Structure 1
Amino acid sequence: MIPFVDLKTQYLSIKDEIDTAVLKVLASTQFVLGNEVKAFEEEFASYCNADYGIAVNTGTSALHLALLAAGIGAGDEVITVPFTFVATTAAICYTGATPVFVDIDPVSYTIDVTQIEKAITERTKAILPVHLYGQPADMEPILDIARRHGLAVIEDAAQAHGAEYKGQRVGSIGDIGCFSFYPGKNLGAYGEGGMAVTNNPEYAHTMGMLRDWGQERRYHHVLKGYNYRMDGIQGAILRVKLRYIEEWTEARRRHAAQYDQLLAKSGVGIPAVMPYSRHVYHVYAVRVPVGHATRSPQRDALQQSLQEQEIQTGIHYPIPVHLQAAYSDLDYKQGDFPHSELAANTVLSLPMYAEITPTQINTVGESFQSILQGVTV
């Protein structure tokens, strides 16, 4: 079996360091926040070229607190994309604000910057671009639009640890950047975790209070806050793994290049790398042709055939948020965002992790092409 993600192999490669770090936290009894979390905040913020890091329990919580710190609330609108994990939209709704979607660029799968300005109303308070699959959104025009309209820019960098836009690390480009450390991420905890990074001390102070019941100091509740604190064990684990992230990222980039070469003549769309981008390949998503159908029978048949050959794949994401039942109250309909809908119907994610071997990638590529030749629309 070639797994879609192999967390055990990565753990075994750094087992002694991880075990030592966890035992250190157990001995210290600093199980919530504490010294390891504080050190990880400083180290990860530095990695992102940001001044402040606020560690929280999930990437969703990071988005929620970032929006609140930027003053987003009931009656406001936040512009984002429907082709993303649902947490992007959920965090906006948590504040009482309304998500306003614009379509993705069909090449990069990130927000179509040419569509943003026409979506702005007097209620718009922020733009929330998603750095999808490890590729940065086109931040320069986003920031230009935001400055001209007085809007905050909050980066959803949950899939983009270490990605760069024109040489600048994502997360430190907008007002606040938000990361997830879900186990399968490029930098993953052994449980849940997240972080917001910023260069704004007021935002950092506010988010630091909000994650810990709104306390400025113990039992002095300045704001109506939340229990979004990071566990000490996760902070310690992530500190160990942060030391390897560049090595793992370069491995992913090599693996992507190998996939690119293997699949160049297969007839599927391989991931585009935008000229401004350092892509970190959280997901290696190919695009399977649809023929004359609105869905891709090829995609579904191909995935099933690969599974039968013991190759695991994924689909990120099969239903865009505007067509999810939970968000039907936003009153969008099928056809509103054609590029997002087409991507949802045609993308297929191949096995991608730092520890996958060139031999395994060759097996995936050869199986992929062999199956595809026998699949018809």
Structure 2
Amino acid sequence: MSTEPVIPMVDTLAWHKPIQQELRSAANRVLDSGRFLMGEEVTAFEQEVREFLQANQTVSCANGTDALILALSAAGLGSGDEVITTPFTFFATAEAIVRVGATPVFADIELETFNIDPLRVQESITNKTRAVLVVHLFGLPARIQEIQWLCEEHSLLLIEDCAQSFGASVNGRMTGTWGDFGCFSFFPSKNLGGFGDGGLVIAKTGSMAEQLKVLRNHGSSVQYRHEYMGYNSRLDEMQAALLRVKLKYIARYNDERKKIAEDYRSFLQGMDILLPAGQGHVYHQFTVLTDQRDQLKDHLASHGVASALYYPVPLHHQPVFKGFPMKQDLFVAEQVSRRCLSLPVFPGMTKAQVHRVTESVTRFFSEDRAEFAYWFAGAAP
């Protein structure tokens, strides 16, 4: 059992230590203003995100799940509509589809990227399909251009779940800007992580953005007049002010994540990672697959290294989706969910910590164990 301090999945204290004074100043600015909802900080944050992502329209909201629900609602999706999405993601992706009354249709993923497979998307399209909800999982963009072409060919809406991919890009174009809507989460562990909950939606057009603004405010555009059944989903001024500070450093943070990933590759010899051309991974997670996942997780814990299972149960096996129609086998998602293990990666992680993680992984596979195949997100099997 290790006596060294545990290496966590995310160390927010190490992450924020260099900018503590800026964060305190931003918090004090909000306290001194006396304005805590829908003020100048929120407006400025939306504008700064719009400029960074080179997006058309940005509308903030209370959290990443609400971002998905607001986008689906603004798109007019509801009862009788099918939305194709991945079974290998956090529950909120499919939860949002059901919340607006539509039906999630799961299409299998690619082993090389853990993202939804465009070929399986195409196989899932029916006359009830209205939209495709793509997840850019673990910070690696999906094959968004191919999926965009599919959506155009079949006149489908394209919605991007970018909860884990803030700052990721494909051919120089940021995730979230390819579809009709791009949905972001600012949960504390995300690449652009806040200090509580927060979310944002990119909209392709001004009319879509106006609809989002009405929906996030109880379906009201004029006080005490309500045109729609909306939501109470507003980003508060404190979160916006603190996120504005971190947004200034997001490129640096993502570069740190990439460097940690490079160090992992360097230390773990013989496990070359090949990423699809033109894709810009930002490593929200660094995920391995191994047939000895649970044993490796226990081994790491005994050496003071945290690890996490993202995600051990694919969505089509969740109890709430029992009885939902299955249009195809989801073999890859099921295999990946049994073998996936994520290693620590966060801004502020030291080289010594990276070495401890890789040393522990290497030791596990070298202690008179059988050779097992294992891959990294973005790697060819």
1:184 aligned to 186, 189, 211, which one?
A: 189
Q: Match of 1:128, SS?
A: strand
**Paired residues of 1:77 and 1:126 also in contact (CA < 8 A):** yes
Partner of 1:218: 223
The answer on 1:75 being equivalent to 2:69 is no
Q: Could you tell me how far apart the structure 1 residues matched to 2:278 and 2:317 are?
A: 31
| Structure-to-structure mapping, 1:159-174, within 5 angstroms | 159-174=164-179
Q: Could you tell me how far apart the structure 2 residues matched to 1:325 and 1:72 are?
A: 24
Runs of 4+ in 1 over 6 A off after TM superposition: none
Q: Which residue type is aligned with residue 52 of structure 1?
A: Q
How many residues are paired up?
A: 365
**Paired residues of 1:182 and 1:193 also in contact (CA < 8 A):** yes
Q: Could you tell me how far apart the structure 1 residues matched to 2:47 and 2:68 are?
A: 19
Partner of 1:300: 294
2:289 aligned to 287, 290, 303, which one?
A: 287
Q: How much does 1:331 deviate?
A: 4.2
Q: Match of 1:177, SS?
A: strand
Partner of 2:358: 365
Partner of 2:375: none
The answer on 1:352 being equivalent to 2:357 is no
Partner of 1:40: 45
Q: Which residue type is aligned with residue 308 of structure 1?
A: S
Cα RMSD for the two superposed structures: 1.5
Q: How much does 1:276 deviate?
A: 2.2
| Structure-to-structure mapping, 1:20-31, within 5 angstroms | 20-31=25-36
| Structure 1 length-normalised TM | 0.94
Q: How much does 1:239 deviate?
A: 0.4
**Paired residues of 1:134 and 1:282 also in contact (CA < 8 A):** yes
Q: Could you tell me how far apart the structure 1 residues matched to 2:344 and 2:150 are?
A: 37
Q: Match of 2:309, SS?
A: coil
Q: Which moved more, 1:365-374 or 1:88-97?
A: 365-374
The answer on 1:127 being equivalent to 2:132 is yes
Q: Match of 2:135, SS?
A: coil
Identical aligned residues as a percent:
39
Q: Match of 2:311, SS?
A: coil
Q: Could you tell me how far apart the structure 2 residues matched to 1:247 and 1:366 are?
A: 26
The answer on 1:338 being equivalent to 2:331 is yes
| Structure-to-structure mapping, 1:173-252, within 5 angstroms | 173-252=178-257
Partner of 1:274: 276
Q: Deviations over 1:248-281 (max 9, x none)?
A: 1111111101101222326xxx764221200000
Q: Match of 1:314, SS?
A: coil
Partner of 2:312: 318
Mark the runs of 5 or more structure 1 residues left unpaired by the alignment: 291-297
Mark the runs of 5 or more structure 2 residues left unpaired by the alignment: 1-5, 373-381
| Structure 2 length-normalised TM | 0.93
Partner of 2:92: 87
Q: Deviations over 1:47-103 (max 9, x none)?
A: 111121111111110011111111211110000010000000001001100000100
**Paired residues of 1:323 and 1:332 also in contact (CA < 8 A):** no
Q: Which moved more, 1:85-94 or 1:12-21?
A: 12-21
**Structure 2 vs 1, CA of residues 30 and 271 (structure 1 numbering), >3 Å: closer, same or farther?**
farther
Q: Deviations over 1:275-310 (max 9, x none)?
A: 12000000000111x2xxxxxxx1101101110111
**Paired residues of 1:271 and 1:286 also in contact (CA < 8 A):** no
Q: Match of 1:329, SS?
A: coil
The answer on 1:101 being equivalent to 2:101 is no
Partner of 2:3: none
**Paired residues of 1:41 and 1:54 also in contact (CA < 8 A):** yes
1:60 aligned to 58, 65, 68, which one?
A: 65
Partner of 1:263: 268
**Paired residues of 2:15 and 2:346 also in contact (CA < 8 A):** no
Q: Could you tell me how far apart the structure 2 residues matched to 1:372 and 1:341 are?
A: 24
Q: Which residue type is aligned with residue 306 of structure 1?
A: L
Partner of 1:293: none
**Paired residues of 1:130 and 1:137 also in contact (CA < 8 A):** yes
Q: Could you tell me how far apart the structure 2 residues matched to 1:95 and 1:199 are?
A: 20
Q: Could you tell me how far apart the structure 2 residues matched to 1:47 and 1:319 are?
A: 35
Q: Match of 1:14, SS?
A: helix
Q: Match of 1:191, SS?
A: coil
